[in-house]
Structure 1
Amino acid sequence: MGEFIDAALGFPAALFTFSLLVVAGYWTLVLLGGLGIDVLGGADADTGAGIGGETGAGTLDGGAGPEDGADGFVAERLAVLGLGGVPATVVLSLLIALAWFAALSGSALSDGPLARTLVLPVALAVAWFGTRVAVLPLRRVFQNPVAASLRDFVGLPCVIRTGRVGPDFGQAEVIAADGSSAIVQVRQPAMDVPVAGAAADAAEGAGLTAGSKALIFDFDPGGQFFWVMPHDAAFGPPENASH
């Protein structure tokens, strides 16, 4: 037991021992229900969006997403290492645990300060490889359902709530199937946006302004916004339509 403690508190395992204690305490709180596993940001698919329905309109903000602030910085760095798609807390826990175990094992199998110095980069490499292998199947477990739910809006009518809609700006209100409403980010293809000075009859119905009715025809998962087009027919046939 004494040799184990010496190895755990010696170089290089000691570099990860305190972090491992923090990880153990964190997951203890998770199991007790005191914390969620997305404290440092969710999986890569998180949008930070929400849908309001009971008392008012919600907002689906397609501009921010999970890469905001320090949480986003950590998630981005992990993604660069090929460890994205899983909550940062899970990835860091795996990295720390594997690095500590590899460093502890290397310390027990090596002798002398030079050999133990070489254990550190080996432990880091083992931790990265092991985490990388573990992340691949975990991505399916932590895949974000928000993007899938956003796609449910495709094919629904909406009402424009901004002064204009273009290839880079616009918002609209859409009613979900469950009756809840949400303000979503919308865009109109550049080819459909009226050109300044165009004939009124050519531009009629092509421009989307506040109060205009449009149809959501596609969803852009990268930009987290919807493509829309003028389509009054989406709200039903005109009153004077022949039968």
Structure 2
Amino acid sequence: MGQFFTAALDFPVVLLTILLVVVLVFWLLAAFGVADTDWVELDIGGVPATVGASLMVVFSWFACLAGTVLLRPSTAVGAAVLAGSLVVGLVLARLVMTPLKRLFPADPPASRLDFVGRRCVIRTGSVTQTFGQAEVTAEDGSSAVVQVRQPGGDALTAGTAAVIFDYDADGEFFWVAALWNESPTTSLGDH
């Protein structure tokens, strides 16, 4: 065990040992909710930067430790072992992260539930419990004409502003309620 610690604390492994300790402390803090895992993609596999960098440090550390133990390099050769271990770490991290990419989708897929809480403009002559259409504007500025229904007897006619308050997946329509003197293109969260 003493040889392990000696090798881990000698040049060039000590540089990666310091990074490995930082990675371990970060993930411990993240496990307790103190540190925020960064969901920015790193260009070595398309997974979060924290996962990619952590894998690269771990693989590089193991490669450097193995190279140092096997070669017992001088300082000049130690620098080459360090450089080689960084390349090995990068390649192995990329190989591991490629299948992991599926676990971290870049953006959630669009959902009809994204319209709930948004204002809409009625486009049909009226809206009842069984019939109606409205135009709603999505967060990205695109608009869609959707099927709407109302539970009450409000006078929802063409051009009337309404708010979408629920989605009925079985009937594939939205429930709406009247909004008076409101702009139809902003969401409830905008006020």
Q: TM-score range by the shorter chain?
A: 0.5 to 0.7
Instruction: Check the 8 A contact 1:107/1:119 in 2, yes or no.
Output: yes
Q: Which residue of 1 aligns with 2:111?
A: 152
Aligned to 1:181: 118
TM-score (norm 1): 0.47
CA contact (8 A) 1:215 1:234 kept: no
Q: Is the 8 A contact 2:45 2:94 kept in 1?
A: no
Helix, strand or coil for the counterpart of 1:225?
coil
**2:70 aligned partner:** 109
Distance 2:40 2:105 in 1: 7
Alignment of 1:61-210 (within 5 A): 78-79=42-43, 83-113=44-74, 114-144=76-106, 146=108, 148=109, 151-152=110-111, 176-177=114-115, 179-181=116-118
* Structure 1: distance between partners of 2:143 and 2:117: 20
Matched, 1:17 2:22: no
Pick closer, same or farther for the CA change 1:103–1:141 going to 2, 3 Å: same
- Measure the CA separation in 1 of the matches of 2:45 and 2:142: 27
8 Å contact kept, 1:16–1:96: yes
2:62, 2:83 → 1: CA distance? 13
Q: CA separation in 2, counterparts of 1:102 and 1:144? A: 31
The separation in 2 between residues aligned to 1:10 and 1:35, in whole angstroms, is 30
Change (3 A) 1:88 1:110: same
Q: Once the two structures are superposed, what CA deviation does each residue of 1:70-117 show, in whole Å capped at 9, x if it has no partner? A: xxxxxxxx32xxx15211111111111111111111000113314323
Contact 2:12 2:81 in 1 (8 A): yes
Q: 1:33 to 1:7 in 2, by over 3 A?
A: same
Query: d(CA) in 1 for partners of 2:62 and 2:9?
Result: 13
Alignment-derived partner of residue 27 in structure 1: 27
Unmatched 5+ stretches in structure 2: 120-133, 149-155, 160-191
Aligned alpha-carbon RMSD (Å): 3.2
**Which residue does the alignment assign to 2:140?**
225
Report the equivalent of 1:4. Answer: 4
